[in-house]
Amino acid sequence: MTEVVRPLEAINNLVYLALNDSDDPVKANLYMQMAKGQIALLNEITLSTLRFCDEQPKK
């Protein structure tokens, strides 16, 4: 569960920072790039979980 919650919290925090540092576009861009990395991590976790579920025997 924390494998999913932590990246979601990070994305939320990074978007908040990007929106509130609008006076510095370089920082805002950095925050959004970091958020993009967290989204990629969430994608991998989700795909891995779905593959695992698909491999389980059906009851």
Domain range list for the chain: 2-49
Where residue 6 falls among pLDDT bands split at 50, 70, 90? very high
Taking all residues of the chain, what is their mean pLDDT, rounded to a whole number?
92
Structure tokens at 20: 């509130």
Q: What is the DSSP letter of 22?
A: T
pTM of the predicted model, to two decimals?
Answer: 0.83
Q: Is the pLDDT confidence value at 40 over 80? A: yes
Please tell me the distance from the alpha carbon of residue 19 to that of residue 34, in angstroms, as a whole number.
Answer: 14
Which SS3 state, helix, strand or coil, does residue 24 take? coil
Q: What pLDDT digit, counting tens, does each position of 12-37 carry?
A: 999 999 999 878 999 999 999 999 99
Which SS3 state, helix, strand or coil, does residue 56 take? coil
